[in-house]
Structure 1
Amino acid sequence: MPESPRSSDSEGPGGTPLRACGRHCRCARSSHATNDLDTLLATPGFSGSLLGADVTAVAGRLPLLDQVVGVTVAGPVLMNAVGMHETPVGSGGAIRCRPSRITLRINPARLGSALITDPAAHIPPTLRLFDTDGNTAHATYLTERSDRLAFESLALGVGSADEERSVPDIGAFTTPEADRDAIGEAGTDQVAQFDAILDDGGAGRLTTFPGLRHSGHTRVESRRVIAALEHAALLGMPATLVTAAPGCLQMHHDQLDGAREHRGSMVIAGGTCRAMINFELVSECWVTWSDGVWGRTGSIELYDRHGRCSMVVTQTGPVSMAAFEAWNQLVTDVAD
């Protein structure tokens, strides 16, 4: 997409000369653009900076940006949420999804670089995290309530002393065993469910489903999933929506406010979050089961034609027993 021009694309913030080419090159790679990052850098008049900091360090600064719009695209699914970022969590970390918060679960091994772009046309300043293939894993758009100074400090590669002290020490994005919220045997709880998807896009997980029919894992038709989500929204059920891009899960838990489908395209609303699903591009839908706070918990998982998980709809956290039982009954009905 076209961006506003900068006086010199060979200079970084403050007129600092950029290196010729390398891992953190900011020059436009005009030939054979094959991914999101190459396409942006090859756009005439591109204005932005490829950050030299480790992408996990950049992700750790997301809460400093204050109110933003977080967007994750995963094949046939797009999720956007308005709010303030939680500190991202890595594999094995606790599952925490609060309303009005943007929650990311990341796999640093599958993330490659971070890019900030200047405002252009109707596009505000943006911070993008890319996977190792150069495709967008997550995008954060600034709003009028965002902290522009924190954003500019990313471009400069430094932060103020106060800002540096306020950045949490997230280390390798892991959480001590005692702090994990999941319940159940290893490999069967919700932490393992999400981390399997985070590891390889869920491709390996999908291959195990046919052999887990005795555990209730069932492939279902998309029309049954659509009907179930519409019914859940009609009842105002609390649900956790998870969009799975390579190296990044965006998670949001809230009461569902509405769901509408038209010719295979569906929009689900819950609080400050909207998820859009193109069921024409969803190859497989599965009902799966894992151990959550109240015990065995149902999930609806959507996979694209490449066998990658695009979305999970489930329940996490401290919902009421009545809400938990209603959700599990709904998921059971979908599989019957």
Structure 2
Amino acid sequence: MLDDGIPARGERLRGGALREAMLRLREEEKLRARDAATRLGVSEAEFVAAKVGHEAIRLKPDFPEILRALSGVGEVLALTRNEHCVHEKQGTFETVVIEGETASVRDGGGLELRLFLNRWHHAYKLTDEGEMGMIMTSLQFFDADGTAVHKVYLTENSDRVAFDAIVGRFMHADQSNELNVTADERAPDTTPPAEGTRVAPGALRVALEKAAETGAPISVVVGNPGAIQIHTGPISKVMATGPWYNILDPRFNMHLHEAGVDTAWLVREPSADGVVTSLELFDATGRRIVQIAGERSPGTPQSPTWRAIVDSLSLSHAA
């Protein structure tokens, strides 16, 4: 261990030693959990597990029943992210459908989740200090290598009694503060499309700005191997803050770390309702970061406004 609490090369902190290092790091630097875990040389799941007995409670990995029970909590904030993009959407687990190892969640306010439960391995309830000193309470789910696949945060409108009942019902018998994770050596799930029009990565800013200006309803899709989260509807406030480009609406936020974008593509696919066009961004490993498309439903084509936006990108942002 180095004097600053950061583990020496080859040293892996666990349990109480990891929590002590976390507390020292928090005093010195305001880091998000994912970044702090990386700094300490552990996965985010190990980072959370070290808090068991204090801020965290380990839950049984009964993911289908936990998801069904969340319908009783009412409004929550669902968060799904990958290495370069964060998707935060307020909504409810109003309709939960489980089919084998796949789950889908929908509500009437534009939230949709597609969850791949074979990638879910660990679950925790966490009460921790968030930005500006706010106390944040959440359920957090992780894959085998300790990467977060999905998080569900309480809001001021959540039913905390129902939430506490979930925690009590699914509390794991093992409340140790150590966790064993396994390396994920699987290849990337997606690669850039074989057919599509390559455009400059800056096309995303233009598309979102025009969507905000025109009020054109869009879908914003962000995923990882264990979860895909979708916002559908109009957006209004877009802006850059440091290295991040953001959608900052009252019930929906997206944060894109633009340095992680390697390529951007306009992808056109035929459907019974005409051509469906999306703007898709990929990182250097071939993983999809985010997908933006015009809102559509069965029997209804994408709007002329969205088509005009993507047509302008083909001309002005060709790569």
Show the counterpart of 2:4: none
Q: Is the 8 A contact 2:191 2:286 kept in 1?
A: yes
Partner of 1:75: 83
Give how far 1:232 is off. 1.5
Secondary structure, counterpart of 2:121 in structure 1? strand
Does 2:247 correspond to 1:238? no
| Matched letter for residue 46 of structure 2 | D
Is 1:108 the counterpart of 2:128? The answer is no
Report deviation, 1:72. 1.9
Is 1:305 aligned to 2:284, yes or no? yes
Aligned to 1:118: 127
**Tell me, what secondary structure is at the counterpart of 2:202?**
helix
Distance in 2 (alpha carbons) for counterparts of 1:140 and 1:95: 15
Distance 2:167 2:123 in 1: 10
Question: Aligned match of 2:161 in 149, 152, 169?
Answer: 149
Identity %: 23
Instruction: For structure 2, list consecutive stretches of 5 or more residues without a partner in the other structure.
Output: 1-13, 19-39, 172-185
What is the CA distance between 1:29 and its match in structure 2?
Answer: 7.5
Contact 1:89 1:104 in 2 (8 A): no
Aligned equivalent of 1:65 = 73
Shift of 1:86: 3.9
CA distance in 2, matches of 1:102, 1:67: 11
Work out the CA distance in 2 between the residues paired with 1:231 and 1:110: 36
1:135 paired residue number = 147
2:58 is matched with which residue: 33, 40, 50? 50
Contact map agreement 1:95 1:317 (CA 8 A) in 2: no
- Which residue of 1 is the match for residue 33 of structure 2? none
Q: Is the counterpart of residue 283 in structure 1 residue 283 in structure 2?
A: no
1:233 and 1:333 map into 2 onto residues whose CA distance is 16
Which of 228, 234, 238 pairs up with 1:259? 238
Give CA deviations for 1:270-292 in whole Å, capped at 9, x if unaligned.
56211111212212211112345
Task: Confirm or deny that 1:249 pairs with 2:228.
Answer: yes
- Give 2:139's aligned amino acid: L
* Equivalent position of 2:176 in the other structure: none
8 Å Cα contact 2:273-2:300 kept in structure 1: yes
Q: Which residue of 1 aligns with 2:207?
A: 228
Number of the residue aligned with 1:268: 247
Q: What is the Cα deviation at residue 123 of structure 1?
A: 2.6
* Structure 1 gaps, min length 5: 1-26, 160-199
Distance, in Å, in 2 between the alignment partners of 1:99 and 1:236 is: 19
Distance 1:226 1:50, change over 3 A: same
Q: Which of 15, 25, 50 is the matching residue for 1:28?
A: 15
What is the CA–CA distance in structure 2 between the aligned matches of 1:316 and 1:293, rounded to whole Å? Answer: 15
Q: Is the 8 A contact 1:90 1:106 kept in 2?
A: no
Separation in 2 of the partners of 1:297 and 1:94?
Answer: 25
Deviation readout 1:288-334 (Å, 9 max, x if unpaired): 12345733211111222332112111134439968622212322332
SS of residue in 2 equivalent to 1:127: strand
Q: SS at 1:225's partner residue?
A: helix
Amino acid across the alignment from 2:234: Q
Distance 1:320 1:262 in 2: 39
Structure-2 change in CA distance of 1:87 and 1:29 (3 Å): farther
Q: Which deviates more from structure 2 when the two are superposed, residues 239-248 or residues 313-322?
A: 313-322
Q: 3-state DSSP class of the match of 2:210? A: helix
**Relative to 1, partners in 2 of residues 1:98 and 1:324: Cα closer, same or farther, differing over 3 Å?**
farther
Which residue in 1 is equivalent to 2:3?
A: none
Mean alpha-carbon deviation: is it higher for 86-95 or for 97-106?
A: 86-95
Contact 1:243 1:251 in 2 (8 A): yes
Whether the aligned pair in 1 keeps the contact of 2:105 and 2:114 (CA below 8 Å) is: no
Q: Name the CA distance, whole Å, in 1 between partners of 2:99 and 2:220.
A: 18
Q: Distance in 2 between matches of 1:150 and 1:28?
A: 30
**C-alpha distance in 2, partners of 1:158/1:284?**
42
Cα distance in 1 for partners of 2:271, 2:83 equals: 27
TM-score (structure 1 length as normaliser): 0.67
